[in-house]
Amino acid sequence: MIPSVRSLAATAVALLALPTLSSAENVKIGAAFSLTGNAAAYGAQQKAGVQLAIDEINKSGKLKGITLELVLEDDGTSKEQGIAVFQRFINRDKVSAIIGPTLSTTATAADPIAQQSKTPVVPVSNTAPKGITDIGDYVWRVSLTEGQVIPSALKVAQAKIGFKNAAILYGNDDAFTKGGFDVMKSSLEAAGIPIVDIQTFATKDRDFNAQLTALKAKNPDFLMVSALVEQAAAIVTQARQLGWNVPIMGGNGFNSPKLMANAGPAAEGVMVGTAWNKASTDPVNVAFIAAQKARGNDPDQFCAQAYTGVLVIADAIAQAGMKGGRDDIKAGFAKVKDLPTPLGKFSFLPSRDGSHPAAVQIVKNGKFEILQ
Amino acid sequence: MTSSSLQDLWLTYQSTVAFIGLNGLLALSVYTTLSCGQLSLAQAAFMAIGAYVSAILTFHSGAPFAVNLAVATLLPALVSVPLGLPVLRLKGVFLAIATIGFGEVVRIFFVNLDYTNGALGLTAVPQRTSIWMIYAALGTALFVLWRIRGSRAGYALEAIREDEPAARTMGIDAARYKLAMLALGAAFAGLAGALEAHYTYMVSPSTYSFTRVVDMLVYAVVGGTSVFYGPVVGAAFLTALPEVLREISARVGLAPGPLRLFVNGAVLLAVILFLPEGISSLPRRIRDRLRARREAHAA
C-alpha cells in the first residue's frame, strides 16, 4: 500500500506534536462507583465502562494535547463514604469532573458537595426522577430517569399487546422501587389505561403468593412490577407457578441478567424498559460491545452508560475549545448535541437530564432481546 | 507543608471528622443504656425521630436551628418514656428483641408516611450543621456521662448493672434509673439524627434500619464499655479506618476494591481477639504489662 500524501502529512504533524505532548495538560476525571457493598455488581460494570472510554479517547488523540486521567474510588454503597470520596476528589485530587456515584441515595448526599465547590458531576446510573438534577446547575445526568424510560416502554408494549387495563405490584419501603411505582402509575394514567389493582410488598419479603392471588382475582390484562432484581425473579416465578400467564413488565430493577439466572424459564416473555439497546447496529455501539468483549467483559446497560459519561465529558472539553477546567466542562455540557454514543444520539435537555432513545427488552430463550 | 495544602487536607477529611463526631454521639447513646446493664436496640428509631422532626421544622417553620435541635433532642426522650415503662421490665435478649421491634415499627411508619415522601424520604435538606456543633454536642454528652460517673447516680447505675435484685434491696429505684438512662440515650440519638440530617442533606427511612444500630453497638464494643469515653474511641477508630485504608491503598497504588474491605475486617477481628475489653483498654494493658516486667526484673 502506498501511503497517501495526506497520511504522510498527518504522521509528520503527529511527530511534530509529540514533543509538546510531554507538556500536555492532564485533566483528571474522578469516578465514584460502588465497588463493594450492595451495589457492587453495578460498580464493576461501570468501572469497565469508564476505563475503556478513557483509554480510547487518550489513544485517539481527539482531545488534542489533553490527556484524561482516571481517578477511581469505591463509595462502598454508603452515604458516608460517598461524601468522603467526593471531598477527596474535589480538594485532594482536584478533578475537573466527577462521574457517579452508583446509587441515587448516595448522590443526594454527595452531589451537593460538588455543587457547592462548582465541580461538574455526571450521574451515569441515578434514575430517581426527582432530587438529582435539582441539586444544582453543575449536575448533568447521562442516565435516563424511570420517568423517561417507562412511558416509552409502555407505549411499545401496548402497541404490541394491546391491553385494556393493568395492575401494579411494587416494593413500598425502598426508595428505588417506590420511585419506579410513582412513574408506572402516572404513565398508565397518562396513557388512559385504567389501573384495576395495586399491591405492595416489603424488601425482605420472599413469598408473594398473597399479593399475586389478589391481583389475579382482578384479572388484569397487564402487570407492571417495580422490584429489585432479587425479588423480581421470585415474583415472576411465583406468578407462573400460580398458573397466571399475564404479560409482565418490570422497572429498572429487572434490568439484569440475574433475572433469567434466578427465574429460569419463568422469566420468558418478561419485558423491561432499558436505556441501552444492546442489539443496536449503530457502529458506535457495535464497536463498544466488541471492545468490551475483547477485555473479557460482557457489557450491560450500566457499562454502556458509564462509557457514555466519559464520552460526554470529553465532548464537553472539545466544545469548550479544548479546555478542561471545571467551568469549561460545565459550559461545554450545554453544547453537547447529537453526540454519537452506544446509547444512541445523545443530547442534554434544558433540565440537564440526558436525552436519547429508549428501548424495550423481552426475555427470549434466557436472553434479553429487543422488542421491535 | 504550606497553608493551602493544609487547608486542602482539612477539606478532604472534614466529612470524616464530622462522621467521627456523629458516630461517637451515637455510640454514647448505646453506651448510656448499656451502663445500667440494658441492651436497647431502639437507638436508630430515636435517631429517625430526631432527624425527621428537625427536617420538617426546617422546611415548615422559621425556627432557628438551635430550637430545631432542642426539639429533636427532647422529643425522642419523651417518646422513650412510654416505651420504657413496659419494655424495661424485660431483660437481656427479650429487651433487645422488644426494642428491635419498636425500631422496625418506627421505620415502617416513616416508610408509609406520604407527608415525608415514604421510602424516598426528604431530600435537599439545607446544610445547617457545622462541625463545631457536632463536637459541642459530643463534648456535652461526654461531660454529662463524666459527671454521672462517681456520683450517687453513677454508683446506683453500676450496682444495677452488676446485680439488679441486690441493688433493689439496697433501696435503689432501679426502674427509675433505667428509664432515665433510656431517655438520655434517646436524647443523644435524636440530636445525632438531627445533626446528621442537616449535614448530609437528606433523611430517608433506609438510614435508620437495624444495621445502623448494630454499627453503633460495634462502635461501643470495639471501643470498650468499661469507661465512658470508650465508645467514642471505637467510633473514631471504625469511622476513620476505611478512609485511612483508602489513603494507604492510593499511596501504594492499589486499585480500589474489595481488598480494602477485607483489610478493614481483618483489623477489626484483630482488635476483638487481642483487645477483648476494647481499644480504650490498651493504655491500661500496656501499663500492666510494663509493671509485670518491672516486677519480674526486681524479683
Name the residue in chain A with its Cα closest to that of B241.
A81
8 Å CB contact of B260 and A80: no
Nearest CB to B204 within list A35, A76, A105: A105
pLDDT at residue B259 in the model: 87
- Per-domain residue ranges of chain A: 18-144+280-356, 147-274
Question: CATH says A147-274 is which class?
Answer: alpha beta
Q: How far is CA B227 from CA A147, A342, B138, B218, in A?
A: 53, 59, 16, 15
- Mutation for testing the A interface, residue in B8, B202, B259 having most A CBs under 10 Å: B202
Q: What is the total count of domains within chain B?
A: 1
Q: In this model, does residue B62 exceed pLDDT 80?
A: yes
Decide if A18-144+280-356 and A147-274 have a common fold.
Answer: yes
Nearest to B242 among A76, A90, A91 (CB): A76
Look up the ipTM and state it: 0.90
The whole-model pTM stands at 0.88
Q: State pLDDT tens for residues B150-182.
A: 899 999 999 999 999 999 999 999 999 999 999
Question: Best interface-test mutation with A: which of B120, B204, B208 has the largest number of A CBs within 10 A?
Answer: B120
Residues of A in contact with B243 (CB under 8 A): 81, 84
pLDDT, averaged across chain B: 93
Tell me the pLDDT band of A5, cut-offs 50, 70 and 90. low
Nearest to A57 by CA among A46, A70, A71: A70
Q: From residue B268, give the alpha-carbon distance in Å to each of A79, B106, B219, B252, B276.
A: 21, 31, 11, 22, 11
**Looking at domain A18-144+280-356, does it have CATH number 3.40.50.2300?**
yes
* pLDDT band, residue A322 (cuts 50/70/90): very high
Angle in degrees, 0-180, between the axes of helices B65-87 and B92-111, rounded to the nearest 10? 130
How near does any CA of chain B get to the CA of A111, in Å?
Answer: 10
Q: Indicate the pLDDT class of residue B261, thresholds 50, 70 and 90.
A: confident
| Contact yes or no for B123 and A108 at CB 8 A | yes
CATH of the domain at B93: 1.10.3470
Shortest Cα distance, chain B CAs vs residue A275, angstroms = 22
**Contact criterion met (CB below 8 Å) for B68 and B194:** yes
Residues B63-86 have pLDDT tens digits of 999 999 999 999 999 999 999 999
**Cβ separation A88–B205 shorter than 8 A:** no
Q: Which residue of chain B has the CA closest to A32?
A: B256
Q: Which of A202, A108, A211, A79 lies closest to B120 in space, CA to CA? A: A108
Instruction: Choose among B111, B239, B257: nearest Cβ to A173.
Output: B111
Q: What angle do CA B145, B146, B151 make, to 5 degrees?
A: 95
DSSP A352: S
**What is the rounded average pLDDT of the residues A172-179?**
86
> Tell me: the pLDDT tens digits for A247-263?
999 998 888 878 898 99
Residues of A whose CB is below 8 A from B19: 80, 84
Q: Number of CB pairs < 8 Å for A and B? A: 94
Residue A3 predicted with pLDDT over 60: no
Decide if B261 and A36 are in contact by the 8 Å CB cutoff. Answer: yes
Containing domain of residue B14, as a range? 3-298
Q: How far is B168 from chain A (nearest CA, A)?
A: 42
